[in-house]
Amino acid sequence: MVEAAPAKDILLAEDDNDDVVIFELAMNQMNFPYLLRNATDGDMLFVMLKNKVPYILFLDIHMPCKDGIACIVEIRKNKEYDNLPVIMYTSNLAAKMIEDSFRSGANFYITKTNTINALVEKLKKIFAVDWNSYMHYPPQGQFVLS
């Protein structure tokens, strides 16, 4: 008998409920079991991280309490999260935000999309990386996934 793969624990730090729904609709099209947890602000994110480190974290930049840049800086200062892939997930394409995210230790930067299919394509690229084997920090030119 073939054992089912364990569900991947996905943590989405996102305060906009519509964006959470769109993200979950895209995740439903992925071909693996997952558990999606949602932190609605930066403070809640760290409570959830302390309770259980996820397989991967998708982190919005504009959140209440603590923004995404402050969160990634704090995450990368903590050895407990050394193996946690952090993907910036935002509608902000400002060069400064991309640069700050890259320098703060995010693994990739993806923008929110207008369609679920476009988000699915970006998620496929993220989940194609074998995060269990190594942490992937692409060259800056490949940091923003389109």
Give tens-digit pLDDT for 61-88.
999 999 999 999 999 999 999 999 999 9
Q: State residue 5's pLDDT score.
A: 75
In degrees and rounded to multiples of 5, residue 134 shows phi and psi of: -165, 160
| CATH 3.40.430.10 corresponds to the domain 8-145 | no
Across-strand partners of 9? Answer: 35
Give tens-digit pLDDT for 49-67.
999 999 999 999 999 999 9
Q: Is the pLDDT of residue 2 over 60?
A: no
Q: Is the pLDDT of residue 114 over 60?
A: yes
Contacts of 14 (CB under 8 A, 6+ apart): 20, 23, 38, 39, 40, 58, 60, 63, 89
In degrees and rounded to multiples of 5, residue 96 shows phi and psi of: -65, -40
Q: Is the pLDDT of residue 132 over 80?
A: no
Task: Categorize the per-residue pLDDT at 45 as very low, low, confident or very high, splitting at 50, 70 and 90.
Answer: very high
Q: State residue 135's pLDDT score.
A: 72
Measured between alpha carbons, how far is 84 from 137 in angstroms, rounded to an integer? 12
- Domain spans of the chain? 8-145
Average pLDDT taken over every residue of the chain: 92
In degrees and rounded to multiples of 5, residue 37 shows phi and psi of: -110, 150
What helix, strand, coil percent values describe the chain, rounded to 5? 40, 20, 40
Nearest to 54 by CA among 84, 33, 28: 84
